[in-house]
Every structure is written in C-alpha cells, then in structure tokens.
Structure 1
Amino acid sequence: MRHSDRRWTFGPAALRLAAALLCLITFAPAAVLAQLDAAAAGRMPQGLAEGVHVLVGDVDAPTPANRGEIGNIGFVVGEQGTVVINCGASYRHGRAVIETAERIGGKPVVLAIITQPLQEFVMGASAFTERGIPVLSHRASAELIEARCETCLRTLRTQLGEDEMAGTRVVVPTQRIDGDTVVTVGGRELQLIHPGWGSSPGDLIVRDTRSGIVFAGALAGFGRVPELRDGDMAGWLAALDRLEALAGQDRDLVVPGYGAPAGTHALAALRHYLRDIDTRVHALLAAGTPLLEAIKAADLPAYSHWARYPLQHERNVQRRYLALENELFED
C-alpha cells in the first residue's frame, strides 16, 4: 500500500522555554559549513537553519574511544515539539541525544525517525521508548531491525563493553510507513521519502519543508567509504539522483549520514566510488580473476584517503563480486 497522499498529525505537546539556543543561520549555508568541522570535533550540535540542527558523529568504526557515536543525528524543532532523526548507538547515547535536543530547541522530543536499520542509528531507541516517544521507520527497516539487531547488540557489547551498552535493548519501530509520506509533528511538516532500495531496502530521506534541508542518512556519506552490505547498486545511484533533486530545490544542503553537511556537489564523489567499484569488479570477474585475487586487485587509490577505506573497501569488493557472480549463475 502506498502512502503518497497520507498526512499524519501528532498532537501538540506542552510548550517550554528554550534553555539554550545555538546561533541559527537561515540564509548563509556557506557560513554554516565553515563551522561544522569545529562542531564535529566537540560533538556539539550545529544550527543549519531556524529550528534545524545536526550533531555530527565520528566517521570511523565503533571503538571505546568514540563510544560508538558514529553517524549523524538531526533535530528539527517545531512550535510544539522536536523530531529527532536517528537515535544513536546505545541507551546512554540515546538519552544524551534527547537531553541535547530538548536543551537546544526548548521543546519536548515527540518523534524519532530511523532512516536506515544500522546499529548507530537504532540502538539508542530504547531511551526514546522509555520516555514514551514513538519511533518511526520504513517497514522494511523495521523488519531488518527485528531480524538481526540482537546480533548487532551482542557485537557492540564486545566492541564497546558492557558498561557502555548498559540498558541498551533492541526496539523495533512501531510507527511504519511503506512509501512517500507527509507528517506534521510538533508543528513542523516533514516529507518522508522512500526512494526505493538504495543503501538498504528501507531507506528514508527526511526533508524539512520549511527550510528545505534534506537528511539523507546512510544514502550519503562524505569522505567515508559506504557499506554495500544491504545496497542495490542501480537503486542507490537512482536514489542519489532523487536526493540531489530534493536538496537542490531550496538550500542545496544535504545532511549525510556520515561526515559534515555539504551542497549537492558532494554527492558526485560517492557516485564515482559506486560506479568505479562496480566497473572494476565487473572487469575482474569477466577476466576470470578469483575472488581472493580480485579483492587485492580492485584497489581504488583515488579513495584511499576516505575513512574506513582499507577494510571496508575490501569488504565491498567481496560483496559486489559475489553479487555479480550470483547474477551470472542466475542467467
């Protein structure tokens, strides 16, 4: 069932005075971008427009040093409430996200949206449901969370330690959509856009209609090697085209899942990587190169400076090789 004409309205919550406000920059995206590196280094939210903020996370793998706080989290503040985009990596992180969002915007958090079923976006949801805050995702993401996130949680406990992950549990979103939807939450209208199967089967793009700012989640990462585990190559490239068109309507500003927000021009490098790895692996497979040799032969030095390149790129080559090999057998 499609939801292209459906509108959801969440009831108003009690108003609060703002405890603190960051500088809100509505008409100067270049000035915003110039501040983001400093904000990311201190894990401080950065204002992008009136009522729109981003908390830029680490771009590396989860480690005790970064406490698993990888990936970006968004806040969109309306007159009656705040929407959080992605929940964080643990119960502790989720609580900190809620506290920060409410301190910055001065409004209660009334909804959390998960853009992809990734541990850094999902594991903090337990803090939201503890507060009675609904969690929304695409139906396919909810199904993947239910199917595999207990394994992710066990892995994070090993990587980060039991103390860091204390209180964390897997929460499957109860608010689910199947297609493009418009929601009005806390007095703010948001477009929730499912571009098809791109980085995952349940990708969501969140566009704040008032500012025009677009949150891409894991569909976009700037300066970081993407993860192809759940991706569909053709669908991902098509999703980037739709993302570019959405962001280019207004402020030309994309908030990626990883890395600092940037204009739509930054999507070009991600497109090039996806096409380059696909072309290289196609050529190696056609030449009869065995998988283990192909993993080393598919080095792409142009991207070697990106975060997570050595290990993640090799994993991507392996996954793309096996996917293409499977397609050949099916034919």
Structure 2
Amino acid sequence: MCEHVSAVRQTISLSNKSATHSDQFHPLGPTHGRRDALGLFQFGAGRRGAVTQVFRRLGVFVLLSLAWVGLLWPASSWALTCRDAPALAWQSVVPGVAAVHGHWPSVTPAGRAHVATTVVLGQGQHVTVVDPGPTERVGRALQQDLACRKLSHKLSSKGAPSAAPRVVGLINTHAHAEQVLANGAFGLAAAATSGTRDAMRKRCPDCLAALRQDLGATALRGTRIVVPTQVLVDGQSLQAGGRAWRVREMRHAHSESDLVLWSEDGGIVLAGGLVDGPQLPVLAQGSVQGWLQALAELRAWQPQWLVGQQLVSGPGQVQAALQRQQQYLCGLVQYAWQGLDRGWSEAEAVQDLPPPQAWAADVTPTQARTPGADQTPKQSTDLWTTPSAKRTHPDLNEAWQNQQRQQHVFNQLRAWREVELSWMDQTTRPSPWPGLCASTPDVGR
C-alpha cells in the first residue's frame, strides 16, 4: 500500500542564508569559586599566579584543539565518502537553479530504459528538489553528491568546513515513476497537485513493479511509494531557492496533471515532462490536444530559460525547443487525419510508420552514474558519457533506438484514437487542430 507522510506547511519557504553562532570564550575571566580546586596544583604561595595562568592557557589550547578537530572531522569523513561517490551529470542553469540528468538502461533485453531530469533549487544550506528520480538509491546519491560538491567547493577555496546542504522541500511535477519513486529517500512530505497525488495512489504500485523488472531488484532495493501530502494548486505562489515561483497546472497534457513552475522575474520555466530533449515524448495518460494547449501557454510566457526532460534551453533557444515539441505532436495529428481520409485502419497506419524527422538523428541521453544498478562498474560509470558511446556500446544503443521506435508507434496509436473523434464529428463540430497546429500542413480544415 502507498505510504502517507504527515502534512506540512502549505507554503514552501526556503532561505539560502544560515546563521553561525559562536560562544565567546574568555580565558582571563574571573576565577571565583575555583580557588580551592586550583590550590591542589599550587607549589607555594609565590607561584600561585603563574601556575594558575599556565593551566588556564592549557585549558584554552585543549578546548580550541577539540573544537578544530570537531570542525575537520565531518569534512574528513565526507572526503572519504566522496572518494567513491557517484558523479552525477549536473547542468547549471542560472544561480540557484541546476539540473541533474539521469539515464538508467534496462538490465533485460525486453525491458525499457528510463530517463529523467531532477531540478535542484538553491545554493546555500537549504535546497528544494523537484522530481527526485526513480529509486531510493538515486535519491540518496543526489543528497550525497550535493554534500560532496559543497565540501569540494569549500576545500578548493580554502574556506572553513561547513554543513552539507539540507533538502527542505520536495516537489513532484507529475505521476511517472522516473520522477517520483525516490521520494522516500528524503524523509519529507512531498508536494504535488491533487491530480498527481491521486494518480500516484492509483498507478504507483504497478509502476514500481514495472520499474523493478526494467532496472533490476538491486537498483530498486529500499524503494517505496511515498505519496505527496502537500497539495499545490494552480496560481499558488511559493518561495524556493531564493526565488518566487508561480504554480501552474496543465491538465491532461503529458499526464493527468502536469505541474509547471514559472519564475516571471527570472524568465525561468520548469516544464517537468512537457518538453523533451533527445528522447521521444511519451503520450500515455495525457492527450495530444491538452499537451498542445499547454505548449501554447508556455510560448506565450516568452521564457528565457526552460528546463525539461534531458533538456536545458537558454536565451534564444526556448522557442525552438517548444516548437520542436509542438511539431512532433502535430505530426501525429496530421498523419492520423490523412490516414483516416484515406480509409486506413489503425494497423495499416502504423505498419510502415516513418520515424519523426526531428528526432531521427538524435543520440541517446547522457547517463548519470547510477548507484545500485545491475551493471558492471565500467558500464555504470562510462556509458553514454562520450561521443564514442554508440561505437563502444552498440547493443545498448540499438536497444534504445528500438525503444524509441516502439514509443513512436504507441504515440501514433494514442493520437489516432483522439483525432478519430474529431474526424468523425467534422461536419457538425469545428476541428480543434488547425488552431493548435497552425504551422503544420492542413489538418482538418
């Protein structure tokens, strides 16, 4: 059964500032009340002051030494831990916003690889994590890497050791296993829309079982379902990572409910699963029409920065990324409409389905070093990290391409059934597709 965690405040408020309090030590302070004890170490009345000062200074030295060891011990412990820690694929977006891209190949020929992007908000002692990943171990690896990066920065700048960043906020953008099943690694109440919460209650048990088949029992060890208990609503404002964010909910788009975080001041949009990088979009629980409407709304905001799945787009690139996503979805619509006009059946339509041009030349996603995956260390470390990855691992690259072809067929069938309703009603009801796919060839005009 899905686990429930206790509800927390309705507004996430983070601070990148931490206060350091130091007790003042006065080595030459008054000694009233200690004369009898000091008398045990006196060698004569004339040496009383000198001996007292010696022991006072010795006490100060010991206390300061212990304090310094206390500061260095966590750093040295983390240094030993960090030596063999997994190095995650971080990508800086703007100060206080960073993305971590993960790719987890299947351990069986019949399984599916999984990709996801985690976003970390904040650069001080407190951070918020958006979409923590697919497994308990991935979530713990993220926390460890955050601590190691903090330590590395302090040591390289010769600064004083400080505490590791603490994750104080956890947000799920939508109910897909790759995004949410690491919730349990953080010991926090996750936040999401009510639609995502309800979908997780319904689908996560099956998703967990499927993910265990794909990635292996070792990688999924300790992974449990933690359903969000803090509900975020459309239009709500929240503070995370030193920025103000507006919550937007896109219904029936990529999934039943897709949460988008929009920072108007920074021009930054965290799009969750609505925009994809090298991998094809996944049209499962959502709809083509709802997804296209969501993309149109994102374009209207005119963001300067966009973070999607395996994707970070900066100034001058965002509109192209949104248009690419739109063209793929509109291509599904166009192909279905033309097939229906020609009298094709579903089976005939996908029998010789051509690959989408925008994704045909793309390489596989970059893989993060994944703790606990059922693979050899070399594969876990080096896979997909260099341009020669396709030549080094042709079998896994071929598996990824086959998976993408299957995904395209699946998406086309889902789009076909949605478009078919409009095609059958075109004489009595205006088609919605021309307005959503204005830049594509005629669709139901």
TM range (shorter): 0.7 to 0.9
The aligned residue for residue 172 of structure 1 is 227
The aligned residue for residue 313 of structure 1 is 408
SS at match of 2:283: coil
Shift of 1:209: 5.2
Q: Deviations over 1:159-217 (max 9, x none)?
A: 11111100011111111123121112465422221133321221111234564322111
Q: Which of 116, 122, 135 pairs up with 1:77?
A: 122
Q: Which of 280, 292, 308 pairs up with 2:347?
A: 292
The aligned residue for residue 179 of structure 2 is 121
C-alpha distance in structure 1 between counterparts of 2:183 and 2:149, whole Å? 20
SS at match of 1:57: strand
Residue correspondence of structure 1 range 222-301 to structure 2 within 5 A: 222-246=277-301, 248-249=302-303, 252-262=304-314, 263-264=317-318, 265-301=320-356
Indicate yes or no: 2:202 matched with 1:107: no
Which amino acid letter does the alignment assign opposite residue 106 of structure 2?
A: T
Shift of 1:244: 2.6
Contact 1:281 1:298 in 2 (8 A): no
Indicate yes or no: 2:367 matched with 1:322: no
**TM-score between both structures, scaled by the size of structure 2:** 0.60
After TM superposition, the structure 1 stretch with the greater mean CA deviation from structure 2, 172-181 or 189-198, is: 189-198
After TM superposition, the structure 1 stretch with the greater mean CA deviation from structure 2, 201-210 or 49-58, is: 201-210
Which amino acid letter does the alignment assign opposite residue 181 of structure 2?
A: M
Shift of 1:299: 2.0
- Going from structure 1 to structure 2, the CA distance change for 1:16 and 1:206 (only over 3 Å counts) comes to farther
C-alpha distance in structure 2 between counterparts of 1:285 and 1:138, whole Å? 37
Which amino acid letter does the alignment assign opposite residue 56 of structure 1?
A: H
Contact 1:46 1:55 in 2 (8 A): yes
Larger radius of gyration: 2
The aligned residue for residue 56 of structure 1 is 101
SS at match of 2:308: strand
SS at match of 1:159: helix
- Going from structure 1 to structure 2, the CA distance change for 1:320 and 1:203 (only over 3 Å counts) comes to same
Q: Deviations over 1:40-71 (max 9, x none)?
A: xx63322221111111223xx74249x96621
Contact 2:332 2:412 in 1 (8 A): yes
Contact 1:78 1:185 in 2 (8 A): no
Which amino acid letter does the alignment assign opposite residue 322 of structure 1?
A: R
Residue correspondence of structure 1 range 17-56 to structure 2 within 5 A: 43-56=88-101
Q: Deviations over 1:132-185 (max 9, x none)?
A: x22111111111111011111111111111111000111111111231211124
Which amino acid letter does the alignment assign opposite residue 323 of structure 2?
A: A
SS at match of 1:218: coil
Q: Deviations over 1:111-140 (max 9, x none)?
A: 111111111101101112xx2x22111111
SS at match of 1:225: coil
**TM-score between both structures, scaled by the size of structure 1:** 0.78
Structure 1: give runs of 5+ residues left out of the alignment: 1-6, 20-41
Contact 2:193 2:257 in 1 (8 A): yes
C-alpha distance in structure 2 between counterparts of 1:178 and 1:317, whole Å? 32
Indicate yes or no: 2:247 matched with 1:199: no
Q: Deviations over 1:4-43 (max 9, x none)?
A: xxx82547699389x8xxxxxxxxxxxxxxxxxxxxxx63
C-alpha distance in structure 1 between counterparts of 2:138 and 2:114, whole Å? 7
SS at match of 1:8: coil
The aligned residue for residue 23 of structure 1 is none
C-alpha distance in structure 2 between counterparts of 1:143 and 1:327, whole Å? 29
Contact 1:16 1:107 in 2 (8 A): no
Which amino acid letter does the alignment assign opposite residue 226 of structure 1?
A: P
- Going from structure 1 to structure 2, the CA distance change for 1:261 and 1:12 (only over 3 Å counts) comes to closer
Q: Which of 199, 205, 208 pairs up with 1:153?
A: 208
SS at match of 1:126: helix
C-alpha distance in structure 1 between counterparts of 2:105 and 2:321, whole Å? 24
Task: Give the RMSD, CA atoms, in angstroms.
Answer: 3.0
Q: Deviations over 1:252-271 (max 9, x none)?
A: 11111233444212211111
C-alpha distance in structure 2 between counterparts of 1:122 and 1:87, whole Å? 6
Contact 2:350 2:409 in 1 (8 A): yes
C-alpha distance in structure 1 between counterparts of 2:295 and 2:235, whole Å? 16
- Going from structure 1 to structure 2, the CA distance change for 1:187 and 1:52 (only over 3 Å counts) comes to closer
SS at match of 1:238: helix
Contact 2:313 2:321 in 1 (8 A): no
- Going from structure 1 to structure 2, the CA distance change for 1:329 and 1:320 (only over 3 Å counts) comes to same
- Going from structure 1 to structure 2, the CA distance change for 1:226 and 1:62 (only over 3 Å counts) comes to same
C-alpha distance in structure 2 between counterparts of 1:80 and 1:209, whole Å? 24
C-alpha distance in structure 1 between counterparts of 2:269 and 2:149, whole Å? 20
Residue correspondence of structure 1 range 89-100 to structure 2 within 5 A: 89-100=134-145
Indicate yes or no: 2:236 matched with 1:181: yes
Contact 1:124 1:168 in 2 (8 A): yes
SS at match of 1:217: coil
Shift of 1:287: 2.2
Percent pairwise identity: 26
Number of equivalenced pairs: 294
Contact 1:87 1:125 in 2 (8 A): yes
The aligned residue for residue 8 of structure 1 is 11
